[in-house]
Amino acid sequence: MNTPSLRQWLLAALLLCVTLALGLVGYTLSERLGLKAQADAGARQLELHTRAVESELDKYTYLPSVLELERSVQTLLSGVGDAPIAAVNQYLEGLRERSGSRAIFLMDVNGHVLASSNWRDPDSFIGEDLAFRPYFKDALLGRPGRFYGLGTTTGEAGYFLAHGLRAEGRIVGVAVVKVRLDALEARWQKARLEAFVSDENGIIILSSDATRRLKSVEPLDEESRARLARSLQYYGFPLDELQFSQRESVGPGAERLILGQDDGYGDRRPARYLAQSLAVTDTPWHLTLLTPLKDQRRESIVHGVLVAFGFALLVFLLIARNERRKVVATRLAAREALETANDLLEKRIADRTKALRNSNERLKSQIRERRQAEQTLRKAQDELVRAEKLATIGQMSTSIAHELNQPLAALRTLSGNTIRFLERGHLEVADTNLRTINDLVDRMGRIIATLRAFARGGDRGGQAEVASALGAARGVLQQRFENRPIRLDCQVTPGCVEIEQTRLEQILVNLLSNALDAVESSAQPVIEVRGQVIDDSYRLRVSDNGTGIDTHGRQRLFEPFFTTKLGGHGLGLGLTLSAQLAAAAKGQLSLDEQAGSGASFLLTLPLSAVSNRSTSP
């Protein structure tokens, strides 16, 4: 999440200020409009209640003048005849009852009360001097006397209406009616109306709230206070000032102010009011209507809060919309970037695919070339194999010739000798030779059979006597042994081994033949043959003091066609064939690495069961 920048903080602070300012504006506007509405409604109410007050007063306006019509009153005032005070008192008493007024009394022109409706009461007005009362003075001057004050006898508040009674054109007495205006207060209270009536001195004479009664609505100076005290109009009440505060004029006859209000539990709390005043006709009074502004103020606060909240909501929505736009723009940009990347990727893929296709084509053509090369190679290989086969056939032919040539050479020599012995008549020698020839032919047949067996592989089994096999091998090579003075040292323990006789002879011919070749250039050629039985095996060692075998020769000795013999002498098959024959008979042919000069071959073959039995103790 990003940390808000200074600009964002300032913007937030500004928005907060604007929100508060708008809330204030909303509150002020609402208060103004509400106040106007309250003032209009209040004006109508005020008018209504002022008229009600006027009609309440009007009810009694005519009453004092009614006394002029009463004969007893006229008589009493004129002073002619008996003074019928008692009759006047009774008349006044009856009139008071019928009119619903508080008291009705009659004064002479000097201000003395002559008769009164309350003549029965101990605190009756009769005899009182009320000449100081303004209403008396007015009435005496022929003007309707109107006065609100507290009675000097009872201390009870009342509205006094006085009328100068005339006889023969001059004023002879004054009739006064005292009425109470409690009904008005009770009506206001019932209607939950807060209102009061203030008189010409600014003193509240009627009020829906009793605690406000006889309080001054305007500050009174000491002189006025003394004057009022002297007039006894308010029966010596202190006439405290009504505690207005924050008075503010809001129109003609209208004020906004704070005034103590009874909270219903006996406590007074300051409350806001709209105070509207209207003069009551025919009186110096003013009716003031107090409209509480508590609800209106609460409403204004609600309106202010609503305006602030509405603005805040609007700002929030705008910010949200802006943020959403940003997000959408970011998404669009991201999508465009993605599309661009996608296009780029697709282009790359297309390029790469094209490159791959090209390289594939190249590979295909390479594969084709390789295949062609392979075919060519295979052809060449086939050619080579064919050539090798041909060479092998040639070598095999040579090998066969090699194997057969030696007995054939022996046959040629023997047969030539035999002919000469027969011509000379040496029949025994000829016979011996012929037998040898016979043996040689047999051997040749066996060799051919062996070659065929070699070609076929496998072992047909059979046993061979080592000494006789060795003798047979020597016989085959006899001619070569005779050609040179070679010492052949044979020490062979008699033993029978698990191999076909011809095969053992063939192995021995090969080993002896190689030894003969090796010692060809030796000054004192020696070939040793040692044979002995070790455990279940027969071990035959053929050693010579010839040329020996170099390292290269040792590694390749048993490879087919490995030969060091020149001039087509060697086939390189002798040792391979011999090793294979030994292996086929579960034996082994190996070079004895421990040997000194020359070479030494070790042939190990399993001892035959027959031999085992004969040698066992």
Which residues bind to ligand ADP, rule: CB under 6 A? 510, 514-515, 518, 544, 546-549, 553, 557, 562-565, 570-576, 599
Shortest CB 563 distance to ligand ADP, Å: 3
Q: Which amino acid is at 268?
A: R
Q: Can you state the angle between helices 6-61 and 182-190, rounded to 10 degrees? A: 140
Contact by Cβ (8 Å): 229, 216: no
Shortest CB 514 distance to ligand ADP, Å: 3
Shortest CB 576 distance to ligand ADP, Å: 6
What residues have CB less than 8 Å from 461, skipping those under 6 apart? 498, 500
Tell me the C-alpha distance between 538 and 585, whole Å: 12
Tell me the C-alpha distance between 395 and 173, whole Å: 189
Tell me the C-alpha distance between 477 and 406, whole Å: 8
Shortest CB 598 distance to ligand ADP, Å: 6
Please list the alpha-helical segments (H only) found in 216-260.
222-231
Nearer to ligand ADP, 386 or 565 (CB): 565
Nearer to ligand ADP, 502 or 513 (CB): 513
Tell me the C-alpha distance between 369 and 539, whole Å: 58
Nearer to ligand ADP, 315 or 557 (CB): 557
Nearer to ligand ADP, 216 or 513 (CB): 513
Shortest CB 357 distance to ligand ADP, Å: 58
Tell me the C-alpha distance between 315 and 397, whole Å: 113
Nearer to ligand ADP, 38 or 506 (CB): 506
The two tokens of residue 408 are 């054939």
CA 48, 49, 51, 56 dihedral sign is positive
Nearer to ligand ADP, 124 or 576 (CB): 576
Shortest CB 448 distance to ligand ADP, Å: 18
Shortest CB 577 distance to ligand ADP, Å: 8
Nearer to ligand ADP, 148 or 601 (CB): 601
Nearer to ligand ADP, 276 or 506 (CB): 506
Q: What is the CA radius of gyration of the chain?
A: 82
Contact by Cβ (8 Å): 283, 57: yes
Nearer to ligand ADP, 564 or 604 (CB): 564
Shortest CB 509 distance to ligand ADP, Å: 10
Q: Can you state the angle between helices 466-476 and 501-518, rounded to 10 degrees? A: 50
Shortest CB 419 distance to ligand ADP, Å: 32
Shortest CB 484 distance to ligand ADP, Å: 15
Tell me the C-alpha distance between 130 and 152, whole Å: 9
Which DSSP symbol is given to 112?
Answer: B
Tell me the C-alpha distance between 541 and 42, whole Å: 151
Nearer to ligand ADP, 195 or 573 (CB): 573
Nearer to ligand ADP, 168 or 550 (CB): 550
Q: Residue 79: phi, psi to the nearest 5?
A: 75, 15
What would the 3-class secondary structure string for 471-509 be? HHHHHHCHHHHHHCCCEEEEEECCCEECCCHHHHHHHHH
Tell me the C-alpha distance between 46 and 289, whole Å: 6
Shortest CB 604 distance to ligand ADP, Å: 17
Tell me the C-alpha distance between 187 and 199, whole Å: 20
Nearer to ligand ADP, 109 or 591 (CB): 591
Tell me the C-alpha distance between 50 and 605, whole Å: 157
Shortest CB 591 distance to ligand ADP, Å: 9
Contact by Cβ (8 Å): 575, 558: yes
Place of tokens 């020698």: 429
